C-alpha cells in the first residue's frame, strides 16, 4: 500500500511538471485512490448479485427445513407426553397386579396349608381306625 502511495506521488509530481499543479491534481483526482484493482466492475457486481440470489434461495431452504424440524419436535414432544402417560398407567396396573398376585399367592399358601392339615388329620384318623 505504501509503494502505491509513492507511485501516485511520483506520478502527480511528474504530471505537475508537464501540465501544471492544478491540472495534475485534477487528473489524479480521476484515478481511484487505492488503484484500479480496488474498483468493482459491472461483471463483478452481476456475479455478487447472483451469489446473493443463490444465498437467499439457500436461506429459504434452511428456513423451510427449520420449520419442518420445529414441527417434528412438536410431534415428538406430544409423543413423549403420551408415552409418559402410558408408562404411568402401566405402573399403576403393575402395582394393582402385584397386590392381586400377593393376595393370590397368600391364599394359595393358606389353602395348601389347610389341605395338608386336612390330609394329615385324615391320615391320623385312618391310622387310628386300624
For residue 64, is it within any domain? no
For residue 75, is it within any domain? no
The rounded average pLDDT for each run of 10 residues, N- to C-terminus, in the chain (130 residues) is: 79 87 86 76 91 95 96 97 97 95 96 95 87
Write 33-36 long-range contacts (CB < 8 A, 24+).
33/8, 34/1, 34/4, 35/4
Q: How far apart are CA 53 and CA 40, in angstroms?
A: 18
* pLDDT score for 6: 84
Range of the domain at 3: 1-39
For residue 47, is it within any domain? no
| Domain total of the chain | 1
For residue 5, is it within any domain? yes
Written as nine digits, the cell of 51 is 451469489
* pLDDT score for 1: 59
For residue 119, is it within any domain? no
Dump the DSSP string for 12-45. HHHHHHHH-HHHHHHHHHTS-TT-GGGSPPHHHH
Amino acid at each position: 500500500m505504501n509503494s502505491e502511495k509513492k507511485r501516485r506521488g511520483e506520478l502527480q509530481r511528474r504530471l505537475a511538471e508537464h501540465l501544471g499543479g492544478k491540472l495534475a491534481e485534477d487528473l489524479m483526482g480521476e484515478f481511484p485512490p487505492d488503484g484500479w484493482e480496488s474498483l468493482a466492475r459491472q461483471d463483478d457486481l452481476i456475479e455478487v448479485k447472483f451469489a446473493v440470489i443463490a444465498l437467499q434461495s439457500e436461506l429459504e431452504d434452511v428456513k423451510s427445513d427449520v420449520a419442518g424440524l420445529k414441527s417434528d419436535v412438536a410431534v415428538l414432544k406430544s409423543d413423549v407426553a403420551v408415552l409418559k402417560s402410558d408408562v404411568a398407567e402401566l405402573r399403576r396396573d403393575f402395582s394393582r397386579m402385584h397386590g392381586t398376585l400377593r393376595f393370590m399367592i397368600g391364599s394359595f399358601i393358606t389353602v395348601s396349608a389347610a389341605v395338608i392339615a386336612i390330609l394329615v388329620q385324615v391320615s391320623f384318623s385312618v391310622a387310628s381306625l386300624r
